[in-house]
Amino acid sequence: MTIARELRRNHAIRISPIRLIDEEDNQIGIVELSEALQRAYDADMDLVEVAPNSKPPVCRIMDYGKYKYQQQKKEQKAKAQRHETELKQIRIRTPKIGDHDLMIKVNHAREFLERGDRVQFSLRFRGRELAHIDEGIGVFNRIVEELDDVARVDQPARREGRRIGMLLSPLPKHVREQKAES
């Protein structure tokens, strides 16, 4: 139960009668506010308005400090499990990269893509390598073939001065599973 605002409790509750739920989650029924406050006081707990918009409003007898602490822990856990998509960059230094070196970079990209991140490959040409742009394009074509089962090309290999860049994004899980089956 996510609460966007502070709940009213104890003497801040103004409407009477209320529907009461006790500390063991038993429905007591509709009672006067003064009786509900007395029950909460006797149990050494707080009377908290959990559904203010219902007729009559629903109030619960609970330890409010403990409840807020548990809500805070739940939010922290949810935040820790959430994955923000990042852009990971993999640089290839030369179009004359060896097969094994290229496969290591492809495997790193595969891990990033399976985790849900986007991957940008960039290849920089130095000196006379600039005369052999076709070798760089061949490297990118090989990368696309290797990662075809987990990625789609968002931005195809494109030359930008002395560099060639390409952007890949992960395929949705159901598409990856279909490709794995075939």
Class of domain 87-181: alpha beta
- What is the CATH architecture assignment of 10-80? Roll (3.10)
Q: Could you tell me which residue, 163 or 53, shows the higher pLDDT? A: 163
How crowded is residue 170: how many other Cβ atoms within 10 Å of its Cβ?
21
| Structural domain spans, the chain | 10-80, 87-181
Task: Give the model confidence (pLDDT) of 85-142 as tens digits.
Answer: 889 999 999 888 999 999 999 999 999 998 889 999 999 998 888 888 899 999 999 9
pTM for this prediction: 0.55
Say if residue 55's pLDDT is above 90: no
Mean pLDDT for 163-176 is 86
- Alpha carbon distance 107, 101 (integer Å): 10
